[in-house]
Amino acid sequence: MNVFFASGDGPFYYPSNLNQLSWLPQAWNWAKNLGESNINRLWYESWVSSIIKLFHSAGLEWVAIDKILWISVFIIAVYCASVLASRFFQSKLLIAVSAIIYASNTYLLMLFGGGQFGVSVGFAAVPLFLNRAMEWIDGWGNHKPLKSEWIRQSLIDGLWITLLVAFDLRMAILAVGVVIVYAFFTKPSLFLAFETYIRLGIAGIVAAVIHAFWIVPSVMYPGSVITDNGQYSGGGIVKFLSSADFSHALSLLHPNWPDNIFGKVYFLQPEYLFLPFIAFASLVFLNRQTIKNRTRILFFSLIGLIGAFLSSGENGPLGGIYAWSFLHIPGFVLYRDPTKFYLFVALSYAILIPYTLTNVSETVSRLTKKEAVRVHLNYVVIVLFLLFWGILIRQLFLGQLTGNFRPQPVPSDYQQFMNLIQHDSRFSRTLWLPQPERLGYADMMHPVIDGTSLFPNSSLSAVILMVRKPDFTQILGSYSIRYIVVPADYEKRIFQTQYVFDKHLRDELITAIDKSSLRRLKGFTSLSVYENTMYDALITAGPENESVIFSVTPKGMIVIPKTTTVINTINFQMAYDPGWILRVGKMVVKPEKTTLGMIRYSLSPVVSDDLILQYSPSRAVNFLSIVSIVSIVLVSVLIFITRKKL
């Protein structure tokens, strides 16, 4: 049976979805809710969709692509952590211990379980970026500025930053922050050197040009960049998302471990308190270290403490400072979820713990003069720690983790629903109440609306009250909603009471919809599917809202063919965005916002030529995408021709 990692925020593609993927970034997301701008997510979604399309073009289906993407997260984490560890340790065993700590800590495991692919890959790749930066910082002063090899390395730095930003912008910023702290901690004179800023400038320009396809449109079309109206940028959201406390963060224990249920914070497991004890015990052995190793141990100790303080958000000892930073420091809004700073703790412990194990082994070995016994004692210390680590993450081996750790087949009802709407050539939306599941089908002509988006801040009981209102179906029709689906909740995470699945909640919602004027479709067992026969078309004209025939070009433009009918109003059932313009010949008509938050165009009564609806940021995104591709090629060529001849 084919099973998929289809939990949480992870991607899922049906065969028709794979066929619809484009090589170029898409500035507008048709398939989600009422439509929304993609500009502020292109840094992540563009490369993911391109890789998926590449695999699909090579003949792979999603059942294989899915496994490749997710398994690669741990391969990348192990490899990158091993490279960084090899900078500090010669023992392959210690390098392996470092990689195991970094690639199997509860934070990365919860990212995987929750389907957060971009953050997972970004987290996994940081050690390799950090290793390269440390190599430059440690060797500073041993190279000549502005020579060809120096410029070549600056260009490579730019590609590294580009790659890290593509994985996850937030992790990229944190990685740069770690590098800055390391440089200040080990080579403060570096900040006074002009060549430092030249190198960083070259790397920054390279990264900015390659990422121009989303940076420039974000500046050119600020009204088309999604805003949350304060929902996720107000001070209260930090308090809400500060799920970890200082003890959890310092112990490298994710607050939602092991069930990964949002909002459910578990008590601190006392065995995890040994982790910070083992890590910071490396400070006890400072006198045995070289000056260089002392500096490294102090640096990673500092990073670990900073990470523990910041990961706890408003719950930490410096909670007031975190809240103030969120409100006043530009860009800090990206870290409304403080657990992103677990990155610092993971990096710290991946290096400090092997240092401690090394020194403990040396201390124990001094108890005997027999060389063979000493070697075995070294192994014993490492094996004992690995056994302890296995106890910490025992839920992984006992099969008690949820989400992506329990791959799901596609239930027959979900496949049946996909077949139903794929055979419908007319545009219509599907409302999932109270929210969709990852396996729910959506495409450009059949978008999915999340019930929590249509009815924000409404509890399930409030949604049920709305369903019982006599004008409920009329409201749905005004949003072009034809189908209404109550999910099967195969992960038992949607219908919950006190974090426990409650079947009665689902039954109550279904009973309420059954009593409405919606028609229940037969043939579904796990899903409850309803049809609303009176729904508005995507595009209508005139005061009578008469349906208009249209076609969509490969570039995403909507063409309304020439007609003999006099048109003075065009209603476009898409979420209002000032970037959507209507072209009538050489005339450009700007959109108006309706009371429902949709788009309307008012024009002088005309018998027009073809009318063209166009999302104007798409032109900039498409052009700059070509610029980005050309830039990657040019930078790669420059790196190749400036390489040292062996």
Residues 329-347 pLDDT 10s: 888 888 888 999 999 999 9
Given pLDDT bands bounded at 50, 70 and 90, which one contains residue 646? very low
Other residues' Cβ atoms within 10 Å of the Cβ of residue 192 = 7
- Could you read off the pLDDT of 388-444 as tens digits, one per residue? 999 999 999 999 998 889 888 888 999 999 999 988 888 999 999 999 988 889 998
H or E element: which one contains 389? helix 371-392
354, amino acid identity: P
Q: For the CA atoms of the chain, what is the radius of gyration?
A: 28
Two tokens, residue 333: 């809004």
Give the whole-angstrom CA distance, residue 256 versus residue 273: 17
Give the whole-angstrom CA distance, residue 92 versus residue 98: 10
Give the whole-angstrom CA distance, residue 288 versus residue 294: 9
Give the whole-angstrom CA distance, residue 154 versus residue 143: 12
Q: What angle do CA 100, 12, 451 make, to 5 degrees?
A: 115
- Could you read off the pLDDT of 607-630 as tens digits, one per residue? 556 788 899 999 999 999 999 999
Give the whole-angstrom CA distance, residue 601 versus residue 263: 43
Two tokens, residue 241: 């998302």
Given pLDDT bands bounded at 50, 70 and 90, which one contains residue 558? confident
Residue of 358, 348, 347, 346 lying closest to 385 (CA atoms): 358
Two tokens, residue 329: 């420091």
Other residues' Cβ atoms within 10 Å of the Cβ of residue 464 = 18
CA distances from 104 to 318, 346, 402 (A): 28, 10, 15
Q: Please, what's the b/e burial string for 295-329 (b: 16 or more CB within 10 A of its CB; e: otherwise)?
A: ebbbbbbebbbbbbbbbbbbbbeebeebbeebeee
Share of the chain above pLDDT 70, in %: 93
Q: Please, what's the b/e burial string for 121-142 (b: 16 or more CB within 10 A of its CB; e: otherwise)?
A: bbbbbbbbbbbbbbebbbebee
Give the whole-angstrom CA distance, residue 282 versus residue 354: 9
CA distances from 139 to 143, 311, 502 (A): 8, 32, 60
CA distances from 599 to 247, 309, 560 (A): 50, 46, 16
- Judge contact between 569 and 575, C-beta under 8 A: no
Give the whole-angstrom CA distance, residue 500 versus residue 494: 10
- Could you read off the pLDDT of 177-222 as tens digits, one per residue? 999 889 888 888 777 677 777 888 888 899 999 999 999 999 898 8
624, amino acid identity: L
Phi, psi of 116 (to 5 degrees): -90, 80
- Judge contact between 570 and 600, C-beta under 8 A: yes
Give the whole-angstrom CA distance, residue 543 versus residue 565: 13
321, amino acid identity: I
Two tokens, residue 313: 């958000």
3-state secondary structure of 592: strand
243, amino acid identity: S
pLDDT at 555: 67
- Could you read off the pLDDT of 467-511 as tens digits, one per residue? 999 889 999 999 999 999 999 988 888 898 888 889 999 999 999
The answer to pTM > 0.85 is: yes
DSSP H stretches of helix in 423-520 = 451-454, 460-467, 472-478, 503-514
- pLDDT over 80 (residue 324): yes
Strands 592-593 and 587-589: unpaired
H or E element: which one contains 569? strand 567-572
Q: Label residue 340 exposed, middle or buried (CB < 10 Å: 0-12, 13-18, 19+).
A: buried
Given pLDDT bands bounded at 50, 70 and 90, which one contains residue 514? very high
47, amino acid identity: W
Q: What angle do CA 450, 456, 462 make, to 5 degrees?
A: 100
Give the whole-angstrom CA distance, residue 174 versus residue 112: 20
Residue of 336, 322, 284, 282 lying closest to 304 (CA atoms): 282
pLDDT at 321: 86
Q: What angle do CA 96, 98, 99 make, to 5 degrees?
A: 65
Q: Name which of 33-42, 286-295, 496-505 the model is least confident about.
A: 286-295
3-state secondary structure of 338: helix
